[in-house]
Amino acid sequence: FRELTGKDFPHIKVQLDNADDRERLRDTIYKSLDVIRVYTKRPGKPPDYDSPFTIPRGGTVEDLAMQVHRDIAANLKFARVWGANVHDGQSVGRDHQLSDRDLVELHA
């Protein structure tokens, strides 16, 4: 890991049959790679918690929109975000900085 990233990877003990340990391992990996998980939903549809997008820590709604589709990013009007640093369903602009595990609904 150090050869690829120049960073040390923390050593943690996990039991893969333990859900809390698996989640702790995921958290450690994402933090070590300096990326966050962002979940998406389509307007009027349920969230997709199975396939998060990963963006660099400090990434914005626009960064996410570019990963979803460049046309969405180009035509983005606003996004609604559910997460720790916003009011649930808060409307935000393209420059809003996202947090790990935010749920985002893009509106283009």
Q: Please, what is the average pLDDT of the chain?
A: 92
If pLDDT is split at 50, 70 and 90, which confidence band does 12 have?
A: confident
What is the DSSP annotation of 3-61? Answer: HHHSSPPPP----TT-HHHHHHHHHHHHHHHTEEEEEE--TTS--EEEEEEEEETT-BH
Position 108 scores a pLDDT of 95
Whether residue 1 is predicted with pLDDT greater than 70 in this model: the reply is no
Reported as a single tens digit per residue, the pLDDT across 41-74 is: 999 999 989 999 999 999 999 999 999 999 999 9
What's the average model confidence in pLDDT over 77-100?
97
pTM of the model: 0.82
Q: What is the residue extent of each domain of the chain?
A: 1-33, 35-108
CATH class of 35-108: alpha beta
